Structure 1
């Protein structure tokens, strides 16, 4: 296997540095009077094009104002679902124009990944959206894909509401219950646990379908 060229390595390093600066910029809003508005904008934008998930800002806001944790989770969920609907609209109406720009500039968007999303949508509409909404799978890839592949909008919205609310309210509940000490646990293990949960959930459905029928 050939080593990546120096140019490719430098480009990857620049992108990583840019994302880190963008992450720090998003996080700093938690220390300002505009943290709630920033959380709403972050959650909306991340569902359709923005590369930084709202989880980090949500965690910081909940730690700083724990009594308002569920309110932050509510507005984060609302914004994320609305942003997902915007992503669906982009895919449904404007993908011919927007597609090349997303493939070029938005992390996680590749033609290969997008083709795979289309294959998944052929059989698992609801569960593709729910899994992406609850786990670290790039949600924007799924929301835009739902529009491109013309998934039923009602199914898409129900899956989005359930999955995004479950994710954000779980984070808020953990911080409300355990306080700042839970932050390192969430940072380190939450995404892994969300994936494990979905694997177990899928396994349970398979048992009911093929073993207990």
Structure 2
């Protein structure tokens, strides 16, 4: 477990496996030897699919965070009135991967220089964000953000904040690519140098 861990809330009892089985207020905790990470990088279908391919990631769930509406629905989030971001919650085995490696996946798989937009998707629910579970995670995220600045022609607009309350998305959004086999949201690689 990360040092100085912060607690958030989730509306499920096991990350990415049985959405909606537990009530509001269930503590968000990782299994022993695992940690949690949360990222906003555009459409959560594509983000989740990207992280599910990373060795050492043991579970994922998509949802909403950072807004003012409690129990938001997808329709409400898409109305641009809730302030929520589409995010992927990642549980990972620290013996098989690291938070730094997950941050590399995050930075490499979206455009962190476009405010409230990823490719054709626009709105505050598509903003770039890292939501940290500890002071250690926040320090690592800030360090990598500074290092990544050299790779882009525009300033990075990624928000890095303590993890807010996480609201799990509707069941049909969970592991969307795995369920449907259909293509997922496009990744915007714009504003990169070289």
- Asked if Structure 1 and Structure 2 have the same fold, meaning a TM-score greater than 0.5 normalized by the shorter chain, the answer is no
Higher strand share: 2
Greater RCO between the two (CA within 8 Å, min separation 6)?
2
Q: Which has the larger radius of gyration?
A: 1
Give the TM-score normalised by the residue count of structure 2: 0.29
